[in-house]
Structure 1
Amino acid sequence: MSDATLELRGIAKTYNPGTPGAVTVLDGVDLTVSAGEIVALVAPSGAGKSTLLHIAGLLDTADSGQVLLGGQEMTGRGDAARTRARRREVGFVYQFHHLLPEFSAAENIVLPQLANAVSAKDARARAVTLLDSVGLSARAGHRPAQLSGGEQQRVAFCRALANAPRLLLADEPTGNLDPATSDTVFAALMRLVRETGMAALVATHNMDLAARMDRIVRLEAGGVVAV
């Protein structure tokens, strides 16, 4: 039995098809990410990294091809089924943390769990555990504006892991941080992924960070190639 958490088969995506402005960003992408594996996705800006992540995370649909999570076909499912799968199976981290400013660090991690029918008590306990794992237990009651950029992004990692997803998708997760903070935040991300055994696909421009992952793939000419 395959241990693949994410399988992309023949993924194609064209914007504005059938018009003079048509742009094909993905053209037959094949990619597998296994449980416990951290894969770096590198490409120039505009090459389609974010589009690929959104399709993999069921936020967008491909024109053709298949998306499988844990061996389950997701491509033909309706919006409600895709939303359920995304909520349970996928965690997202972006370049900007997108934390809710009116809620504390812990509350930002509790909220996605409540949406997934976790009890308030259990959600709070998991939030505290996750914050402790990235060295932020003392900041649990602080709102985002009271946290540094690196602290905010570590909270965002914890929020992404709140519902114990199988797959973590990260789009330039340290791109808004200075080099020293970036290194600290990335180390926290690597540790969380290793401890949980999830699969992770991380888009990054930073080749030093990419080199610390298990493997690097490059998106070029609409396809994915190994580096």
Structure 2
Amino acid sequence: MSDATLMLSGIEKSYNRGTPGEVSVLRGVDLSVQRGEVVALVAPSGAGKSTLLHIAGLLDVADTGRVEIAGQDLTDLSDTRRTATRRADVGFIYQFHHLLPEFSALENIVLPQLAHGVPRAQAQTRAQDLLDRVGIAARADHRPAALSGGEQQRVAFCRALANEPKLLLADEPTGNLDPETSDQVFAALMDLVRGTGLSALIATHNMELAARMDRQIRLEAGQLIPLGGAQRPA
């Protein structure tokens, strides 16, 4: 039995299919992310990395191919079941935090849990614990506008992990930050991921950050190319 949290097999995706303007973005992509593994996805702008992440996270549907998360084939699920699986098993982080401006940092992490049926007291305890793990527990009652860019993104990390997903997908999670803040925030993300033991696929342009992950792959001409990897910590 495979120990892969994410398994993509033969993923193909084109836009404007069947027309003279058809653009082939993914061409038979195969990818596995093992339990507890953190994989860097490196690609130039427009190469299709966001499309790949969206297919892996059940936000988009491939033209052909199979998507498995934790050994479950999710390829042909209904929209309702895809949504339920995504909410339960997948956490997303984007370049911009997309926090709800009218709610505090704590509330932004509590709300996804309430939507998932978690009792409020339990949700608040988990939210506070996550904020503590990324070093901003003292900012729990502040709204996003009162937080720095790095603090906002740390809250976004916590929100993505609020419902204890099996898989974390991140699209340039530090791309909107200056280099020093980016390094600090990425370290907080890695500590959070390692501390929870989940699997992660993280898209980044930053090769220094990519080198700190377990393995690096490059998306080029619609296919994945391995670039080597860092030694995983014991």
For the aligned residue pairs, the C-alpha RMSD in angstroms reads: 0.5
Q: Alpha-carbon deviations, 1:28-48, whole Å to 9, x = none? A: 000000111000000110000
* Offset, 1:225: 1.2
Matches within 5 A, 1:140-151: 140-151=140-151
| Cα offset, 1:221, TM superposition | 1.2
Q: Deviation per CA, 1:166-202: give whole Å up to 9, x if none.
A: 0000000000000000000000110111111100000
Q: Give the corresponding residue for 2:11.
A: 11
Q: Please, what TM-score do these two structures have when normalized by structure 2?
A: 0.96
Q: How far 1:51 sits from its partner (Å)? A: 0.2
Aligned to 2:199: 199
Pairing 1:156-175 to 2, within 5 Å after superposition:
156-175=156-175
Question: Which residue of 1 is the match for residue 48 of structure 2?
Answer: 48
Q: Count residues in correspondence.
A: 227
Listed as ranges, the matches of 1:36-75 within 5 Å are 36-75=36-75
How far residue 2 of structure 1 moved from its aligned partner, in angstroms, is: 1.6
SS of the residue 2:8 aligns to: strand
C-alpha displacement of 1:21: 1.3
SS state at 1:186 partner: helix
SS of the counterpart of 1:45? coil
The alignment-based identity, stated in percent, is 72
> Could you list the runs of 4 or more consecutive aligned residues of structure 1 that deviate by over 3 angstroms after TM superposition?
none
Give the match for residue 84 of structure 1.
84
The 2-side partners of 1:57 and 1:184 are apart by 26
Distance in 2 (alpha carbons) for counterparts of 1:190 and 1:80: 32
- SS of the equivalent of 1:31 reads strand
**Partner Cα distance (1:224, 1:137) in 2:** 39
Question: What are the ranges of 5 or more consecutive residues in structure 1 without an aligned counterpart?
Answer: none
Q: Residue 157 of structure 1 aligns to which amino acid in structure 2?
A: F
Q: Distance in 1 between matches of 2:2 and 2:78?
A: 25
1:136 equivalent in alignment to 2:136: yes
Q: TM-score, normalised by structure 1?
A: 0.99
Deviations 1:97-134 (A, max 9, x none): 00000000000000100110001111111000000001
